[in-house]
């Protein structure tokens, strides 16, 4: 266990409890001496008792000598720090040193060895820093003589031991099946989902988790700041909010795709921000929702313009499949911008039929985009014919088979990831994937 900080100390104690022989490695002599004296180097429920017991039983020890530890073991966990710098960049000094030390030790080790990175590192780190450093120092080949796994941890302080044995998920990032099997065998029993993915996916997961947690905290706090001057119980509001596990506390709306739109979300976000300003309350997260949405729409336009084509067929105009509602539909705005850039458009949406539009939808068309009505075609084939680029604007199931209707070199830009198999499309692009 390279690194006897928070993650390393907890992991060492838990793996020793599971019956493994664990050697902790740290350059800090104080931490090493504490472990060898049966004392925990961190304050965390249950860890002190576990360290004391398993040191006395001979299953847990510590040293400052990484070579000695590597040469006496079959697997190494890398739990060294990756401190942040003032500009946000990470300092990989400790990670590079640990990787080099592992490699130097493996130069004199016979047999296969597995290295598990548990340090929180940015995507590309395992592939571009850890593996090359080990190979260079050892003279051995990754995937043949040793395997590296990225295995992010999801431990919370004050409940780390419980989290170790009941993780929300087990993520194994590797391209080496042998090492994946070894790490899978170490996973605690239970029903936590286990996934094996490329290194970069496993590395990114931890950052997505922590950013989401930070966003939730900031969101809850902003709701509280607005509720306070309105004399509303913010905890009652958020308690009710959290009751909804169908949409609010769920996977809904969390997949990358097109910008948000429709008759509710944009209007209500603007109204809430207006109400906050009228009470002199600053809500940076909520205020910047529309800024983020606008940036995403601009990214979609750039993706289209970068193809360099002029004749475009749009499949899906309403803000989501199964409706004819065009009010604040992001595809309407995108179509407007495409026209402004001189592109020639044909638009097909089976749910948008001007002859049947009534009420707010009819008024929206008449007042805001009457010229788009002239671009609507009756059949999907009409929009495809003669188009060099097809833009998929909503998730109508009929659009998922676009590959069966276009030439293999036709540009297809999928803004909602409706295409499941794009292997037959040479010029397929996604917005955020």
Which amino acids are annotated catalytic? 264
Say if residues 394 and 314 touch (Cβ distance below 8 Å): no
387 burial level (CB within 10 Å; 0-12, 13-18, 19+): buried
412 burial level (CB within 10 Å; 0-12, 13-18, 19+): buried
Say if residues 129 and 99 touch (Cβ distance below 8 Å): yes
What separation in angstroms does the CA of 162 have from each of 51, 157, 158, 165, 168?
16, 10, 9, 5, 11
How many Cα atoms sit within 13 Å of 84 on the Cβ side?
A: 5
Helix, coil or strand: residue 424: coil
What separation in angstroms does the CA of 77 have from each of 9, 52, 83, 162, 311?
11, 21, 18, 19, 54
Q: Which tokens belong to 221?
A: 């706090």
Neighbour tally for 314: CB within 10 Å: 30
Helix, coil or strand: residue 346: strand
What separation in angstroms does the CA of 161 have from each of 60, 117, 268?
16, 19, 42
Q: Which helix (H) or strand (E) holds 339?
A: helix 330-340
The Cα–Cα gap between 79 and 63 comes to 15
Closest listed residue to residue 12, CA positions, set 27, 48, 30, 245: 48
Longest dimension (CA), the chain: 83
- For residue 129, the 8-state DSSP code is I
- For residue 127, the 8-state DSSP code is I
């Amino acid at each position: 266990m390279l690194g006897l900080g928070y993650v390393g100390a907890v992991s060492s104690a838990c793996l020793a409890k599971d019956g493994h022989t664990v050697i902790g490695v740290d350059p800090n002599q104080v931490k090493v001496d504490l472990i060898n004296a049966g004392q925990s180097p961190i304050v965390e429920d249950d860890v002190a008792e576990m360290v004391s017991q398993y040191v006395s039983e001979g299953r847990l020890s510590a040293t400052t000598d990484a070579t000695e530890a590597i040469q006496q073991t079959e697997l190494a966990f890398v739990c060294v720090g990756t401190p942040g710098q003032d500009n946000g960049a990470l300092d990989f000094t400790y990670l590079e040193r640990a990787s080099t030390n592992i490699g130097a030790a493996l130069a004199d080790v016979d047999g296969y060895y597995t290295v598990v990175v548990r340090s929180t590192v940015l995507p590309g780190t395992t592939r571009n820093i850890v593996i090359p450093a080990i190979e260079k120092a050892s003279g051995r080949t990754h995937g043949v003589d040793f395997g590296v796994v990225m295995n992010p941890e999801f431990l919370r302080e004050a409940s780390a031991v419980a989290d170790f044995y009941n993780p929300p998920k087990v993520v194994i990032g590797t391209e080496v099946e042998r090492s994946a099997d070894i790490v899978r065998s170490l996973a605690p029993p239970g029903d936590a989902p286990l996934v094996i993915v490329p290194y970069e996916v496993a590395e990114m997961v931890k950052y997505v988790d922590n950013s989401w947690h930070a966003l939730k905290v900031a969101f809850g706090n902003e709701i509280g700041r607005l509720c306070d001057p309105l004399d509303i119980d913010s905890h009652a509001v958020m308690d009710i909010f959290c009751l909804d596990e169908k949409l609010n506390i769920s996977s809904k709306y969390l997949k990358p795709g097109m910008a948000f739109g429709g008759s509710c979300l944009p209007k209500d976000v603007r109204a809430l921000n207006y109400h906050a300003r009228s009470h002199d309350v600053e809500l940076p997260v909520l205020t910047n929702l529309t800024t983020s949405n606008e940036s995403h729409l601009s990214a979609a336009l750039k993706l289209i313009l970068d193809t360099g084509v002029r004749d475009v067929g749009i499949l899906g105009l309403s803000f989501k499949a199964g409706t004819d509602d065009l009010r604040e539909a992001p595809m309407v705005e995108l179509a407007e911008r495409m026209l402004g850039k001189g592109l020639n458009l044909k638009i097909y949406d089976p749910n948008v039929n001007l002859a049947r539009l009534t009420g707010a939808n009819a008024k929206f068309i008449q007042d805001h985009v009457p010229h788009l009505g002239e671009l609507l075609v009756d059949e999907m084939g009409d929009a495809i014919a003669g188009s060099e680029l097809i833009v998929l604007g909503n998730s109508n199931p009929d659009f998922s088979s676009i590959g069966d209707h276009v030439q293999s070199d036709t540009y297809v830009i999928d803004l909602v990831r409706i295409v499941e198999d794009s292997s037959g499309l040479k010029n397929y692009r996604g917005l955020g994937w």
